Chains A and B, each alone.
Chain A
Amino acid sequence: MLDVVVVDSLVKRYGPVTALAGVSLAIRRGEFIALLGPSGCGKTTLLRAVAGFVEPTSGEIRINGRPMQGVPPNLRPVNTVFQQFALFPHMTASENIAFGPRRQRLAPAQIHGRVQDALAMVGLEGLGARYPRELSGGQQQRVALARAIVNRPEVLLLDEPLGALDLKLRKRMQVELKRLHQQLGMTFLFVTHDQQEALAMADRIAVMREGAIVQLGSGAEIYRNPATRYVADFIGEANLITCRVDASGAVQITPNGPGSPYRAPAKGARQVSLMVRPESVRLGGAAGTDQVALRAKLKDKVFVGSTYRLYLVFADGQEIAAEPGCSSEVDELAPGDMVWVHWHKDAARVLED
C-alpha cells in the first residue's frame, strides 16, 4: 500500500463557519507534501484533524488504512512540530525529547540511546542538558524537530515550523529539513503560507483556498500550469492580464491588439485572464509566428540586483512586470519610452476568472 494517509471528503464546521469544505487528499509514503494557502484557508485545521486535535464534522481520515475516527492524539502514529515549538519549559532539551519514548515505556537505556541519536540528527550534540530558554530560536526549533522524529512517526506533521525564525535562519532550516526528510525516509506533511518555502522543499504542493484544495501537484507543475487565477497569483509572481473573448471564442489580449493564438477554454466565457510570468516577457518585436508581441510604454525601471525589473503599461491601461535579463538595450531604456515586448505563446496560460 502506497498511501500512508488518506483524507476522504473531510468537512469541518465551526457553527456557521466552514473551515474544511470536503477535502480529499492521498499522501504517499515517504513524500514531502506541503499544504499551502493564506491564513484562514483551512490548512492548519486539516493538519490538526490528522493529528487528532480537530474532530471532523464528516468525512474520514485513514492512516495506514486504519480509520482515525475517535482515536485520540496520543494513540495516533503521527507527531507534530508546533508553530511556536511548544517545548516544555520545565524540562531540559533531553527531557523534552525523551517525553515521547517514555510514554512508549521503552527501557531507560534505549530511551537514552534514542535521545542521543535524535540530538545528533539535528546537530545538537552536547546541548541536551540545556533548558529551552537557554537555547537560541534555531536550536529550539531543532529540539522541537528531534522531539517529534524520535518517536519515528508514520507521518511528521509540521505546522509552520519556520514561521518563528528570521529569514536567514529560515532558509538554512529549509535545507536542513529537506536533508532530514531524505535521511529519514519519513512522510512529511508541512503547513505553510510561504510559497517560496513550499516550492523549495515539497515534492508535492496542495494549494488551499476557503477550506478546499484548488490544485495538487509538484511545485514546477503548479508554477508552470496553475489551474486558476488564484493559484497563479499565489505561487510565484504572475502578470494576470484581463482579456476579452470575442464571439468566435478567440482571446483578445488588448482592445486593439493583434489577434492572439489563445482560445477561451469554456464556451460562453466573456472574459478570461492571461497569465505570463515576468521572466517570460522579452524585449523586442515578434521573431516568429509562435511569439506574441505587444506594444507598451515603460512606466518604471527598477534595478533588483541580478536584473532590471520593468513595469510596462499597455494602451488599455493594464500593467505588467517584466524581467528580461540584462542587456545594453535594457540599460538604455528610460521611463516613458515605447517598447515592443513579446513572449513565446506556450509561456502564457489562459485562466478562467
Chain B
Amino acid sequence: MRTDARPVEQGGEGMRLTSANAAFLMLGPIAFFVLFFLAPFGLLVAESFMRPDGGVTLGNYVSVLSDGYYWNALINTLLISLWVTVVAFLLGYPLAYFIVFHVLRPWGRRLIYVLLMTPLFTSNIVRAFGWIVILGRRGIVNATLLAVGLIDRPLDILYGKLSIVIGLAYILLPIMVLSICSVLQTVDRSLIEAARDLGARPSRAFVAVTFPLSLPGVVAGSIIVFALSVSAYVIPSILSGGREMVTPILIFQQYAATFRPDIGATLSVVLLAVTLLLIGSYLILFERRLRAVG
C-alpha cells in the first residue's frame, strides 16, 4: 500500500496554527501594545528632546544631568529601591523556603498563598497610612519602646528613607516570595538528598545546591521588586512626609506643579535608562550561573 496516497487529515490541518492565523490572532495584542505603550513612549522620548517653543534640543538633558538636585533624587530613588530589594529578599527567601519545604499539606500552602496575596487587594494608600499609625511619633512602635523603657524620646522612624523602605518592602514582599516559591518548588529533592549523601551537612547542602538552583527565582523576584520600587510614587509621597525626594515624585511635579512636561519626560527617560542599565548589568553578573541552572 502506498502511504502517500492517504487522504490528508482534515482535522490535523485545521488544528495547525499557520503563521497567517497567528498574525491575525496577535493583531489585538499588538495593536494594544503599539497604541498604549509604544506610541506614548515615543511621544515621551520626543517630548524630552523638545524646546518649549517647539524646536529640537539636547538642552533638557543638559539641564537635568547638570543639576545636582535631580541627581540626588535619582540616587535616592536607586538607593531606596536597592534597600527594598535587599529587605524583600532577606525576609522573602526564608518565608518562601518555609512554605516550600515545611508546609507539606496542600491546603496549608494554599492558605499561606491567600494570606500573602490578600494585602495586594487593598489600596496602597490605605496601607501607607497604616504604616503612619504604626511608625509615627505616637505610633505603636514608639509607644511600645517607650513603655518598655528602651528609649526615653520617640524615635524619628516615620518620614524618612527608613519608612519608605519599610512601606515598599512590605508591599512588594509577596511578589518576591511568590517568585522564589515558584522556582524553589521545582528544585529536585533528590539533589538535596544527593548532597547530604555525599557528606554535606544540611547548611552546606543549602549553600551548594538548594540556593544556587533557586537563583532564577531570586533574580526574577529582585528585578520585579527593584523595578516597582524605582517607579513607586504613592508610598514614597505618603511616607516621605516631603522630607525625601524620589524621581517619580519629581516627574509628577514637573507635569502637575511646574508645568514642564519636557523636563518630566527627560527625567522619565533618564530614570528608565539608568534602571535598564542596572538590571542589565545585574543579569550579566548572574548570566553564567543562570544558564547552568536551566
Contact = CB atoms under 8 A, between A and B. Distances in A.
A89 B194 contact: no
B193 A99 contact: no
27 contacts: A51-B197, A52-B196, A52-B197, A53-B196, A72-B196, A72-B201, A73-B193, A75-B199, A78-B197, A79-B197, A79-B198, A82-B190, A82-B194, A84-B190, A86-B190, A87-B194, A88-B195, A88-B208, A89-B294, A90-B212, A90-B213, A90-B292, A100-B198, A103-B199, A148-B198, A151-B198, A151-B199
Given A90-B212, A104-B199, A151-B198, A82 B292 contact: no
Contacts of B201: 72, 74
B293 A103 contact: no
A99 B205 CA distance: 10
Interface residues of A, number: 27
A170 B204 CA distance: 34
Contacts of A78: 197
A131 interface: yes
A239 interface: no
A147 interface: yes
Interface of A: 51-53, 72-75, 78-80, 82-84, 86-91, 99-100, 103-104, 131, 147-148, 151
A88 B197 contact: no
A230 B179 CA distance: 50
B205 to A, nearest CB: 8
A15 to B, nearest CB: 13
B289 interface: yes
Interface of B: 188, 190-191, 193-201, 204, 208-209, 212-213, 289, 292-294
B188 A86 contact: yes
B293 A89 contact: yes
Contacts of B293: 89-90
B184 to A, nearest CB: 15
A99 B294 contact: no
Given A74-B201, A104-B199, A53 B193 contact: yes
A289 B195 CA distance: 63
B193 A82 contact: yes
B293 to A, nearest CB: 5
Contacts of A86: 188, 190-191, 193-194
Contacts of B195: 88, 99
A147 B190 contact: no
B190 A100 contact: no
Contacts of B212: 90
Nearest to B196: A73
Contacts of A148: 198
B198 A90 contact: no
Contacts of A90: 212-213, 289, 292-293
Nearest to A83: B190
Q: Which of A86, A90, A151 has the most CB of B within 10 A?
A: A90
A82 B197 CA distance: 10
Contacts of B289: 90
Contacts of B199: 74-75, 100, 103-104, 151
Contacts of B188: 84, 86
Contact of A80 (B197, B200, B213): B197
B197 A103 contact: no
A148 B195 CA distance: 11
A72 B195 CA distance: 12
Given A103-B204, A148-B198, 5 more contacts: A73-B196, A84-B188, A86-B188, A88-B191, A99-B208
A73 to B, nearest CB: 4
A151 B194 CA distance: 13
